[in-house]
Amino acid sequence: MSPLRLPGPPWPDPIVEVRGVRHAYGARVSVDGVSFTAREGEFVGLLGPNGAGKSTLIRLVAGLLAPSAGTVRLAGFDPHATPRRLVARVCALVPQEPRLDWPFTVRDVVMMGRTAHQGLLAIPTREDLGAVEGALAACDLLHLAGRRVDALSGGERRRVFFARALAQEPRVLLLDEPTAFLDLAHQVAAMEMARVAARGGLCVVAVLHDLNLAAAACDRLVALAGGRVVAEGSPSDVLTEERVRDVWGVPVWRGQNQATGATVVLPNVRPVP
Ligand code: ATP
Protein backbone atom coordinates (compact mmCIF):
# COMPACT_ATOMS: atom_id res chain seq x y z
CA MET A 1 0.00 0.00 0.00
CA SER A 2 1.10 3.56 -0.65
CA PRO A 3 2.31 5.38 2.47
CA LEU A 4 0.53 8.49 1.21
CA ARG A 5 -2.83 9.25 2.74
CA LEU A 6 -5.69 11.45 1.59
CA PRO A 7 -7.41 13.65 4.15
CA GLY A 8 -10.68 12.31 5.60
CA PRO A 9 -13.24 10.91 5.62
CA PRO A 10 -15.18 12.81 6.72
CA TRP A 11 -14.47 14.93 3.64
CA PRO A 12 -14.25 18.67 4.03
CA ASP A 13 -17.41 20.37 2.94
CA PRO A 14 -17.54 21.46 0.10
CA ILE A 15 -15.49 18.74 -1.59
CA VAL A 16 -14.60 20.93 -4.64
CA GLU A 17 -13.24 24.38 -3.83
CA VAL A 18 -11.99 26.74 -6.53
CA ARG A 19 -10.88 30.14 -5.21
CA GLY A 20 -9.77 33.03 -7.43
CA VAL A 21 -8.25 30.70 -10.02
CA ARG A 22 -6.43 31.99 -13.06
CA HIS A 23 -4.97 29.95 -15.91
CA ALA A 24 -3.41 30.83 -19.26
CA TYR A 25 -2.22 28.78 -22.21
CA GLY A 26 0.88 30.87 -23.04
CA ALA A 27 -0.40 34.41 -23.52
CA ARG A 28 -4.05 33.29 -23.88
CA VAL A 29 -5.94 33.66 -20.60
CA SER A 30 -8.48 30.84 -20.37
CA VAL A 31 -9.76 31.13 -16.78
CA ASP A 32 -9.62 34.50 -15.07
CA GLY A 33 -10.32 34.76 -11.34
CA VAL A 34 -12.91 31.97 -11.09
CA SER A 35 -14.34 30.87 -7.76
CA PHE A 36 -16.90 28.15 -7.26
CA THR A 37 -17.60 25.28 -4.90
CA ALA A 38 -19.51 22.01 -5.12
CA ARG A 39 -20.70 19.67 -2.42
CA GLU A 40 -21.25 15.93 -2.20
CA GLY A 41 -24.81 15.08 -3.18
CA GLU A 42 -24.96 18.01 -5.61
CA PHE A 43 -25.16 18.08 -9.42
CA VAL A 44 -23.59 21.30 -10.73
CA GLY A 45 -23.76 22.27 -14.41
CA LEU A 46 -21.00 24.41 -15.97
CA LEU A 47 -22.44 26.39 -18.88
CA GLY A 48 -21.10 28.95 -21.32
CA PRO A 49 -20.33 29.54 -24.98
CA ASN A 50 -17.45 27.89 -26.84
CA GLY A 51 -14.11 29.01 -25.47
CA ALA A 52 -15.59 30.25 -22.17
CA GLY A 53 -13.11 28.20 -20.13
CA LYS A 54 -15.33 25.29 -19.03
CA SER A 55 -13.04 22.41 -20.04
CA THR A 56 -10.02 24.22 -18.64
CA LEU A 57 -11.83 24.65 -15.33
CA ILE A 58 -12.74 20.96 -15.21
CA ARG A 59 -9.10 20.04 -15.93
CA LEU A 60 -7.94 22.39 -13.17
CA VAL A 61 -10.32 20.69 -10.72
CA ALA A 62 -9.02 17.27 -11.83
CA GLY A 63 -5.44 18.45 -11.25
CA LEU A 64 -4.43 17.97 -14.89
CA LEU A 65 -3.56 21.67 -15.09
CA ALA A 66 -2.06 23.95 -12.45
CA PRO A 67 -3.49 27.42 -11.80
CA SER A 68 -1.13 30.38 -12.16
CA ALA A 69 -3.00 32.10 -9.32
CA GLY A 70 -5.63 31.08 -6.78
CA THR A 71 -6.23 27.63 -5.27
CA VAL A 72 -8.02 24.42 -6.22
CA ARG A 73 -8.88 21.95 -3.49
CA LEU A 74 -10.38 18.50 -3.93
CA ALA A 75 -11.44 16.90 -0.65
CA GLY A 76 -9.04 19.35 0.97
CA PHE A 77 -5.93 18.52 -1.09
CA ASP A 78 -4.27 20.18 -4.07
CA PRO A 79 -5.09 17.82 -6.97
CA HIS A 80 -2.19 19.01 -9.13
CA ALA A 81 0.38 18.37 -6.38
CA THR A 82 -1.05 14.94 -5.45
CA PRO A 83 -0.08 11.61 -7.08
CA ARG A 84 -2.59 10.72 -9.82
CA ARG A 85 -3.38 7.38 -8.22
CA LEU A 86 -4.57 9.12 -5.07
CA VAL A 87 -6.52 11.73 -7.03
CA ALA A 88 -8.20 8.87 -8.90
CA ARG A 89 -9.55 7.45 -5.67
CA VAL A 90 -11.50 10.65 -5.16
CA CYS A 91 -12.14 12.03 -8.62
CA ALA A 92 -13.08 10.58 -12.02
CA LEU A 93 -13.00 12.66 -15.19
CA VAL A 94 -14.80 11.80 -18.40
CA PRO A 95 -13.08 14.07 -20.94
CA GLN A 96 -14.69 15.62 -24.00
CA GLU A 97 -12.91 13.28 -26.40
CA PRO A 98 -11.78 10.15 -24.56
CA ARG A 99 -9.12 8.25 -26.51
CA LEU A 100 -7.67 4.78 -26.37
CA ASP A 101 -4.99 3.60 -28.73
CA TRP A 102 -5.45 -0.14 -28.19
CA PRO A 103 -8.39 -2.34 -29.20
CA PHE A 104 -9.52 -3.22 -25.68
CA THR A 105 -12.94 -4.69 -25.07
CA VAL A 106 -15.64 -2.65 -23.39
CA ARG A 107 -15.33 -4.72 -20.19
CA ASP A 108 -11.51 -4.21 -20.17
CA VAL A 109 -11.91 -0.45 -20.45
CA VAL A 110 -14.46 -0.30 -17.65
CA MET A 111 -12.15 -2.45 -15.50
CA MET A 112 -9.45 0.22 -16.02
CA GLY A 113 -11.60 2.40 -13.77
CA ARG A 114 -10.59 0.09 -10.92
CA THR A 115 -6.83 0.70 -11.31
CA ALA A 116 -6.59 3.16 -8.43
CA HIS A 117 -8.20 0.58 -6.11
CA GLN A 118 -6.05 -2.37 -7.15
CA GLY A 119 -2.72 -3.71 -5.90
CA LEU A 120 0.45 -4.04 -7.99
CA LEU A 121 -0.66 -7.28 -9.70
CA ALA A 122 -4.06 -5.79 -10.61
CA ILE A 123 -5.86 -9.07 -9.95
CA PRO A 124 -9.58 -8.16 -9.91
CA THR A 125 -11.28 -8.71 -6.57
CA ARG A 126 -14.94 -9.49 -6.04
CA GLU A 127 -15.49 -5.73 -5.44
CA ASP A 128 -13.75 -4.85 -8.72
CA LEU A 129 -15.88 -7.32 -10.68
CA GLY A 130 -19.06 -6.12 -8.96
CA ALA A 131 -18.25 -2.45 -9.64
CA VAL A 132 -17.57 -3.20 -13.32
CA GLU A 133 -20.78 -5.20 -13.84
CA GLY A 134 -22.78 -2.50 -12.03
CA ALA A 135 -21.29 0.25 -14.20
CA LEU A 136 -21.87 -1.77 -17.40
CA ALA A 137 -25.51 -2.30 -16.43
CA ALA A 138 -26.03 1.35 -15.43
CA CYS A 139 -24.73 2.50 -18.82
CA ASP A 140 -26.73 -0.03 -20.85
CA LEU A 141 -23.54 -1.75 -22.02
CA LEU A 142 -23.91 -5.36 -20.89
CA HIS A 143 -24.78 -6.47 -24.42
CA LEU A 144 -21.64 -4.73 -25.74
CA ALA A 145 -19.26 -5.86 -22.97
CA GLY A 146 -17.25 -8.23 -25.21
CA ARG A 147 -17.00 -5.82 -28.16
CA ARG A 148 -13.83 -3.87 -29.01
CA VAL A 149 -14.16 -0.18 -28.16
CA ASP A 150 -12.60 0.84 -31.47
CA ALA A 151 -15.50 -0.87 -33.22
CA LEU A 152 -18.23 1.10 -31.46
CA SER A 153 -20.13 4.21 -32.50
CA GLY A 154 -19.12 7.57 -30.99
CA GLY A 155 -22.10 7.55 -28.64
CA GLU A 156 -21.53 3.95 -27.52
CA ARG A 157 -17.88 4.77 -26.84
CA ARG A 158 -18.85 7.76 -24.69
CA ARG A 159 -21.05 5.48 -22.57
CA VAL A 160 -18.06 3.15 -22.09
CA PHE A 161 -15.99 6.00 -20.63
CA PHE A 162 -18.89 7.08 -18.47
CA ALA A 163 -19.09 3.49 -17.17
CA ARG A 164 -15.34 3.47 -16.54
CA ALA A 165 -15.74 6.60 -14.40
CA LEU A 166 -18.62 5.02 -12.44
CA ALA A 167 -16.58 1.84 -11.88
CA GLN A 168 -13.88 4.03 -10.36
CA GLU A 169 -16.35 4.75 -7.51
CA PRO A 170 -15.16 8.33 -7.07
CA ARG A 171 -16.44 10.95 -4.64
CA VAL A 172 -16.34 13.59 -7.39
CA LEU A 173 -17.46 12.89 -10.96
CA LEU A 174 -16.33 15.43 -13.56
CA LEU A 175 -18.09 15.17 -16.91
CA ASP A 176 -17.05 17.21 -19.96
CA GLU A 177 -20.05 17.32 -22.29
CA PRO A 178 -21.49 13.95 -21.24
CA THR A 179 -24.38 14.16 -23.71
CA ALA A 180 -22.35 14.97 -26.84
CA PHE A 181 -22.90 12.41 -29.64
CA LEU A 182 -25.67 10.65 -27.69
CA ASP A 183 -29.15 10.10 -29.11
CA LEU A 184 -32.04 11.67 -27.21
CA ALA A 185 -32.79 8.60 -25.09
CA HIS A 186 -29.16 8.19 -24.09
CA GLN A 187 -28.80 11.95 -23.41
CA VAL A 188 -31.66 11.67 -20.96
CA ALA A 189 -30.19 8.46 -19.54
CA ALA A 190 -26.77 10.11 -19.07
CA MET A 191 -28.31 13.03 -17.21
CA GLU A 192 -30.44 10.66 -15.16
CA MET A 193 -27.34 8.64 -14.25
CA ALA A 194 -25.52 11.79 -13.22
CA ARG A 195 -28.48 12.83 -11.10
CA VAL A 196 -28.79 9.40 -9.49
CA ALA A 197 -25.04 9.48 -8.77
CA ALA A 198 -25.47 12.86 -7.07
CA ARG A 199 -28.47 11.64 -5.11
CA GLY A 200 -26.33 8.68 -4.04
CA GLY A 201 -23.85 11.15 -2.48
CA LEU A 202 -21.40 11.95 -5.28
CA CYS A 203 -20.46 15.47 -6.20
CA VAL A 204 -21.14 15.71 -9.95
CA VAL A 205 -19.84 18.64 -12.01
CA ALA A 206 -20.72 18.55 -15.71
CA VAL A 207 -19.91 20.83 -18.64
CA LEU A 208 -23.13 21.08 -20.62
CA HIS A 209 -24.18 22.86 -23.80
CA ASP A 210 -27.82 21.79 -23.72
CA LEU A 211 -29.40 24.46 -21.54
CA ASN A 212 -32.69 22.57 -21.24
CA LEU A 213 -31.12 19.31 -20.09
CA ALA A 214 -29.00 21.33 -17.65
CA ALA A 215 -32.06 23.16 -16.34
CA ALA A 216 -33.96 19.90 -15.93
CA ALA A 217 -31.26 17.85 -14.24
CA CYS A 218 -28.85 20.13 -12.34
CA ASP A 219 -29.28 21.44 -8.83
CA ARG A 220 -27.18 24.50 -9.56
CA LEU A 221 -25.70 26.15 -12.62
CA VAL A 222 -22.50 28.15 -13.02
CA ALA A 223 -22.33 30.20 -16.23
CA LEU A 224 -18.93 31.23 -17.61
CA ALA A 225 -18.03 33.72 -20.32
CA GLY A 226 -14.57 34.93 -21.28
CA GLY A 227 -13.01 32.86 -18.50
CA ARG A 228 -15.11 34.45 -15.74
CA VAL A 229 -18.18 33.40 -13.77
CA VAL A 230 -21.07 35.57 -14.96
CA ALA A 231 -23.91 33.89 -13.07
CA GLU A 232 -24.45 31.18 -10.50
CA GLY A 233 -27.59 29.82 -8.90
CA SER A 234 -30.69 27.75 -9.57
CA PRO A 235 -31.53 27.02 -13.22
CA SER A 236 -34.45 29.45 -13.16
CA ASP A 237 -32.25 32.21 -11.72
CA VAL A 238 -29.39 31.68 -14.16
CA LEU A 239 -31.32 31.04 -17.37
CA THR A 240 -33.18 34.31 -17.75
CA GLU A 241 -33.99 35.63 -21.25
CA GLU A 242 -31.63 38.58 -20.72
CA ARG A 243 -28.73 36.42 -19.55
CA VAL A 244 -28.99 33.89 -22.35
CA ARG A 245 -29.12 36.74 -24.84
CA ASP A 246 -26.16 38.51 -23.21
CA VAL A 247 -23.95 35.43 -22.69
CA TRP A 248 -24.76 33.36 -25.79
CA GLY A 249 -25.84 36.26 -28.00
CA VAL A 250 -29.11 34.56 -28.90
CA PRO A 251 -32.62 35.88 -28.20
CA VAL A 252 -34.72 33.15 -26.59
CA TRP A 253 -38.19 32.41 -25.38
CA ARG A 254 -38.12 31.28 -21.76
CA GLY A 255 -40.90 29.23 -20.29
CA GLN A 256 -41.66 26.27 -18.10
CA ASN A 257 -42.16 22.63 -18.98
CA GLN A 258 -45.78 22.04 -17.91
CA ALA A 259 -45.10 18.37 -17.14
CA THR A 260 -41.97 18.79 -15.02
CA GLY A 261 -41.87 22.45 -13.97
CA ALA A 262 -38.33 22.77 -15.39
CA THR A 263 -37.16 26.03 -16.98
CA VAL A 264 -37.09 25.85 -20.78
CA VAL A 265 -35.29 28.18 -23.18
CA LEU A 266 -35.84 28.05 -26.92
CA PRO A 267 -33.97 30.18 -29.47
CA ASN A 268 -36.19 32.57 -31.40
CA VAL A 269 -35.49 30.98 -34.76
CA ARG A 270 -38.16 32.05 -37.21
CA PRO A 271 -39.57 29.24 -39.33
CA VAL A 272 -38.77 29.52 -43.01
CA PRO A 273 -41.83 31.19 -44.63
P1 ATP B 1 -15.95 24.58 -25.73
O2 ATP B 1 -17.36 24.81 -25.31
O3 ATP B 1 -15.69 25.05 -27.13
O4 ATP B 1 -15.44 23.19 -25.47
P5 ATP B 1 -14.66 25.67 -23.33
O6 ATP B 1 -15.58 26.63 -22.61
O7 ATP B 1 -14.52 24.33 -22.77
O8 ATP B 1 -15.03 25.62 -24.87
P9 ATP B 1 -11.78 25.83 -23.12
O10 ATP B 1 -11.53 24.61 -23.94
O11 ATP B 1 -11.57 25.76 -21.66
O12 ATP B 1 -13.23 26.42 -23.40
O13 ATP B 1 -10.89 26.99 -23.74
C14 ATP B 1 -10.77 28.27 -23.11
C15 ATP B 1 -9.82 29.14 -23.95
O16 ATP B 1 -8.52 28.55 -23.93
C17 ATP B 1 -10.22 29.27 -25.40
O18 ATP B 1 -9.89 30.57 -25.81
C19 ATP B 1 -9.34 28.27 -26.12
O20 ATP B 1 -9.06 28.68 -27.44
C21 ATP B 1 -8.10 28.27 -25.25
N22 ATP B 1 -7.43 26.97 -25.24
C23 ATP B 1 -7.96 25.78 -24.86
N24 ATP B 1 -7.06 24.78 -24.94
C25 ATP B 1 -5.91 25.37 -25.38
C26 ATP B 1 -4.61 24.89 -25.66
N27 ATP B 1 -4.29 23.60 -25.52
N28 ATP B 1 -3.68 25.77 -26.10
C29 ATP B 1 -3.98 27.09 -26.27
N30 ATP B 1 -5.19 27.61 -26.01
C31 ATP B 1 -6.15 26.77 -25.57
Q: Which helix (H) or strand (E) holds 188?
A: helix 184-199
Q: 54 alpha carbon to ligand 1 midpoint, in Å?
A: 8
Q: Ligand 1, closest atom to CA 207? A: 7
Q: Sorting pLDDT into bands at 50, 70 and 90, what band is 81? A: very high
Residue nearest to atom 10 of ligand 1 (CA): 55
Q: Ligand 1, closest atom to CA 58? A: 11
Pairing label, strands 43-47, 220-225: parallel
Collapsed DSSP state (helix, strand, coil) of residue 63: coil
Beta bridge partners of 32: 22
Please state, in angstroms and rounded to a whole number, the distance separating the CA atoms of residues 5 and 86: 8
Q: Quick one: pLDDT at residue 12?
A: 45
Give pLDDT tens digits for 196-235: 889 888 999 999 999 999 999 999 999 999 999 999 999 9
Give pLDDT tens digits for 99-133: 777 889 999 999 999 988 877 677 888 898 999 99
Mean pLDDT of the 82-94 span: 93
Q: 125 alpha carbon to ligand 1 midpoint, in Å?
A: 40
Please state, in angstroms and rounded to a whole number, the distance separating the CA atoms of residues 188 and 194: 10
Q: Quick one: pLDDT at residue 57?
A: 97
Q: Quick one: pLDDT at residue 230?
A: 97
Mean pLDDT of the 21-49 span: 96
Q: Quick one: pLDDT at residue 148?
A: 94
Beta bridge partners of 46: 207, 222
Q: 55 alpha carbon to ligand 1 midpoint, in Å?
A: 7
Q: 137 alpha carbon to ligand 1 midpoint, in Å?
A: 34
Residue nearest to atom 11 of ligand 1 (CA): 53
